Amino acid sequence: MLFGCEVCLGFFAKGIDRMNPIFYLLAAVTLAGGLAAVLLKHLVHCALAVTVAFAGLALLFLQLDAQFAGFAQILVYIGAVAILIVFAILLTRGSDLPKDGVFSKTWFLGLIIAAAVFAVIGWAVLASVSAIPQQNTVPSVTVHDIGNALVGRYVLPLEILALLLTAATIGAVIVAMHEKARPR
Amino acid sequence: MTSMMTTPLAGYLLVAALLFAIGLGGALVRRNAILVLIGIELMLNAANLNLIAFWRYGPHPEALTGMMFAIFSIAVAAAEAAVGLGLVIAIYRHTNTAELDKIDRMKG
């Protein structure tokens, strides 16, 4: 106990900031949102819960000094993906509760697989705590720098991404387009 | 425990791992196709959190590698969501259900 305190004080003296309560709050909100999205019965409630999880993640990005990624997350996920999910739920009558439960017959197997994956990743993280980097200088990256990198070093991925987004938009419209009834 | 508390990156990595496991569990356990897509989105978001956390605490944040990877990943995830939900709507139109275990037309 005493040794632990000394270690803490040593880290304080070196100026390493410890996990602050805001991180715990945001992590709890994000994880609770994700858990509710997976467990709730009504699909509309799930969509609301996943929006909460997206918002928590955006705040975590802001907490990590990644303002651009945080605001992109808000715009893309809360602004677009959540709305798409709500549209899909309403178009497929997902708001009616199914008669034979919302979980699949093999839910126990899925639970075991998810727990095993978490155990492996968590073990890997905790086992390599001493090796992971911890720079504590706040990176001074502005939107100007990000824009320059996007049209400079990353211009080819940007063009490919533009092509992909166009193809995906057209593809989504074609896939979901109303087909004419065909004789079977 | 002390070492985990004192390295912020480990905390973010553990949160991301937990969120990934929640998303994976949701994708495996739920019967509705839209919920499976929500689980996949949660997994992609957990990966993004890892990328941003490594960018923030890694040695060369000015190179912007992790940040760019996360931004591109967000854009690809948006495209994936649009196509995936379009497919769900198309399947619903054909089979009148979005429950995955009732879509068994190709079962031998």
Query: Would you call A76 helix, strand, or coil by DSSP?
Result: helix
Q: Please, is A124 exposed, middle or buried when counting C-beta atoms within 10 Å of its C-beta (0-12, 13-18, 19+)? A: exposed
Is a pLDDT exceeding 50 seen at residue A167? yes
Please give the tally of structural domains in chain A.
2
User: What is the rounded average pLDDT of the residues A116-140?
Assistant: 86
A154 and B68: CB-CB below 8 Å?
yes
Whether A132 maps to a domain, the answer reads no
Contact B55, B68 (CB under 8 A): no
Determine the distance in angstroms separating the CA of A117 from the nearest CA of chain B, rounded to an integer. 6
B79 and A18: CB-CB below 8 Å?
no
Whether A37 maps to a domain, the answer reads yes
Alpha helices in B58-97 (DSSP H): 65-95
pLDDT at A11: 45
Identify the weakest region by mean pLDDT among A53-62, A100-109, B7-16: A100-109
Is a pLDDT exceeding 80 seen at residue B5? no
Whether A120 maps to a domain, the answer reads no
Is a pLDDT exceeding 90 seen at residue B37? yes
pLDDT at A8: 44
Query: Would you call A85 helix, strand, or coil by DSSP?
Result: helix
Domain boundary (A58, A76, A95) is at A95
Stretch 78-97 of chain B: residues touching chain A, C-beta under 8 Å? 78-83, 85-90, 92-93
| pLDDT interval class at A10 (50, 70, 90) | very low
Domain boundary (A32, A67, A95) is at A95
A94 and B57: CB-CB below 8 Å?
no
User: What is the rounded average pLDDT of the residues A178-184?
Assistant: 65
Contact A60, A19 (CB under 8 A): no
Query: By C-alpha distance, which of B39, B31, B23 is closest to A92?
Result: B31
More confident call, B103 vs A173: A173
| pLDDT interval class at A9 (50, 70, 90) | very low
Optimal mutation site among B1, B52, B62, interface A, most CBs of chain A within 10 A: B52
| pLDDT interval class at A19 (50, 70, 90) | low
Residues A86 and A148 in one domain: no
Q: Tokens 């907490």 map to which residue?
A: A63
Determine the distance in angstroms separating the CA of B91 from the nearest CA of chain A, rounded to an integer. 9
Query: Considering the entire predicted model, what is its pTM?
Result: 0.86
CATH of the domain at A51: 1.20.120.1200
Whether A101 maps to a domain, the answer reads no
Averaged pLDDT score across all residues of chain A: 84
User: What is the rounded average pLDDT of the residues B35-40?
Assistant: 93
User: What is the rounded average pLDDT of the residues B9-36?
Assistant: 92
Chain segment B57-104, per-residue pLDDT in tens: 888 888 888 899 999 999 999 999 999 999 999 888 888 888 888 888
Chain segment A28-45, per-residue pLDDT in tens: 999 999 999 999 988 999
pLDDT at B94: 85
The DSSP line for A90-158 is: HHTTTTSPPTT-SB-TTHHHHHHHHHHHHHHHHHHHHHTTTTS----SPP---HHHHHHHHHTTTHHHH
pLDDT at B80: 92
Domains of chain B: 2-100 (1.10.287.3510)
Using an 8 Å CB-CB cutoff, list chain B residues near A53. Answer: 19, 42, 45
- Print the domain residue range for A83: 17-95
Residues A91 and A145 in one domain: no
Task: Say whether residue A181 is in contact with chain B using an 8 A CB cutoff.
Answer: no
Determine the distance in angstroms separating the CA of A122 from the nearest CA of chain B, rounded to an integer. 6
pLDDT at A18: 55
Q: Tokens 């879509």 map to which residue?
A: B103
More confident call, A4 vs A147: A147
Determine the distance in angstroms separating the CA of A110 from the nearest CA of chain B, rounded to an integer. 5
A114 and B21: CB-CB below 8 Å?
yes
Whether A34 maps to a domain, the answer reads yes
| pLDDT interval class at A183 (50, 70, 90) | low
pLDDT at B72: 94
A113 and B30: CB-CB below 8 Å?
no
Whether A111 maps to a domain, the answer reads no
pLDDT at A181: 62
Stretch 73-112 of chain A: residues touching chain B, C-beta under 8 Å? 73, 76-77, 80-81, 84-85, 87-89, 91-92, 94, 98, 101-107, 109-111
Whether A10 maps to a domain, the answer reads no
Rounded Cα gap, residues B45 and A33, in angstroms: 13
Q: For A175, phi and psi rounded to 5 degrees?
A: -65, -45
| pLDDT interval class at A6 (50, 70, 90) | very low
Is a pLDDT exceeding 90 seen at residue A57? yes
According to DSSP, the residues that pair with A103 across neighbouring strands are: B30
